[in-house]
Structures are given as C-alpha cells and as structure tokens.
Amino acid sequence: MHRRKCTASGPLSSSFPPQSQRIQFGWLWLLVVTLALLVSGCATGRPFVAGDRPFEFKKDTFNFANELVWEYHVDAQAGKTSFTKRQSPPDYALRCFVLVRSARQFFQNARFEPGRPPVDNATYQELIRRVVRTNPRRVLPAAERIVIPGYANLREFSRAKEALLKAECGGAWQSYLQRGHWRMVFPFNGEHQERTAGELVGSIRLHRPPVVHIVRFPKVKINHALLLFAAKETADQIRFTAYDPNEPSQPLTLTFQRAARRFVYPATKYFAGGPVDVHEVYRHWFD
C-alpha cells in the first residue's frame, strides 16, 4: 500500500485531508483576527468560581473515542508520520473540541444521580441538549445543574447512551469553527507559554479543568484539543495529566519544560511526539 509523507498529523484531532496541510486564510480570517485583537484588549477578567471536586478520568470522560479519518503510521524515533486512507470511513470523527468541551460542560453543569430511576431516550436527549447549551466558560450553581438520573457518571452514561451523546453533543463544524482558532496564526513565544502554564495550574487547583488547543503552525503537524485535570510541578517541568478524546482508555501527559519554556506532547497513534504550542480555549468569551 502506498504511503504518503505527512506534514500534518491532522487538524481537528489529527484527521485533516493531505491537501489541507497548509491552511490558506482569506479576508474572513483577517477580519476575525482583527476583531478578536480589538476586543481582547478591552476584556476584563472575572474571578473564576472554584469547582466542588477534582475532575476524575475514570468518571468524567466519555467512554467512546473521537475516531481518526486517516490511518497513521508513526515513527517516533525519526519524528515522522505517514498515513494511508482507511479501508472504511469513521463513523464519528473531527470532534476533538466537541468532546472535551462537552466533558467540561457535564463536569461543571450537570449532576448524575444513580439513585433516581432511568428515563426514556427522549428525556435523556433533551437533558443532553440542555447540558451542551450551557456556557462552558461558567459554572452553574449546584442547585441549577442539570440532573441526569439513573447513572453515576459520564463514563457510565456514555457507555449506555453512546449514540444519543454522539448525536447531540455537536457536529464536526463546531470543532472547525471554535472561536479561539484565531490565536494559532500568531507566534507563540516562551513568555506566553510560561504564563499559559501558570494559568493552567491555577485553573486545575480551582477544580476547573482547562481545555487547551495544541498546535504546530503554519506547518501543521498537530491541531488538536485536550482537557487537563491534574498538574505535578518540579523544579524542571510541569506534567499536566490530559484527557485526549482520541485516546479514551487512559490519560496522557502534556509536559511544560521550564528551561526551554515550551510544551511537549508524547508520541501517540496520530502524532510523532515533540514540541507543541498551547493556548487555552473556553476561558474568555473571545476564545
């Protein structure tokens, strides 16, 4: 089988077509970027409300994966990736931002009550819609959170109601049009990455798991979303524990290297591993 050299492990969960490896931005993107810069200069921060418990991987993540559009062949030693077309197209792909955003919405704005009797699918469908309509940048007061009866947590709920959740959490277009994408076209320097690492640690300490966009641009080797939920600091680095929606079986690690002031993501089934640029999304209204 012929393999093509991959310069992109695929925007939006490592699955962009080869012909889209270099993204061409037109006047629309220029307008979006200009407006974002203008409003970000006027934005005022609000103190974040602390969550009432830490995010738990085995309870607060989806049981199913965001599938890959391409079949990747990763050479982690050489730092190279090739890919071939999958024999059968994926049923559920290009939803990395959708899944991490939805996981955060369920964590912050829903409450599972296994002691209550289960309801029918039509009711669950409406409950899911209510959760994903909540603002992922805000935490609902405990009394206002959407109650999901009959299940103990999101992992259990998504195992039983996979089709419903896939249908209602959002389409691939919500990954493509995530409003924070404007940031990736600007350079990321060490000062920015160091400040970002500190902000991520602060959010995790408040039990507010941050969603991050990890990217290599303009030569797009990765363009993906993660949810971070734990951080271990040493003198040399910060190791962030991450929910990668492409890898629902176990958490992965995003590392910030203090001396180099850069983030590094490990080799996966879709990325050869190496430095990545990181910025947080769903933090302010413009991202």
pLDDT digits (tens, 9 = 90+) for 131-165: 999 999 999 999 999 999 999 999 999 999 999 99
Q: Residue 88 is encoded by which pair of tokens?
A: 């059968």
Predicted structure pTM score: 0.82
Question: Which carries the bigger pLDDT value, residue 47 or residue 60?
Answer: 60
- For residue 86, the model assigns a pLDDT of 75
Ramachandran class of 10: left when φ > 0, alpha when ψ lies in -120 to 50, beta otherwise = left
- Edge-to-edge strands of the sheet including 70-75? 4-6, 80-85, 70-75
What letter would DSSP give residue 48? P
Tell me the pLDDT band of 70, cut-offs 50, 70 and 90: low
- For residue 66, the model assigns a pLDDT of 96
**Cα distance between residue 264 and residue 254, in whole Å:** 6
Give the closest residue to 256 by CA, choosing from 207, 200, 209.
Answer: 200
Q: What is the CA radius of gyration of the chain?
A: 19
Interval 45-60 mean pLDDT:
83
Beta bridge mates, 213: 225, 279
Interval 76-81 mean pLDDT:
68
- For residue 16, the model assigns a pLDDT of 42
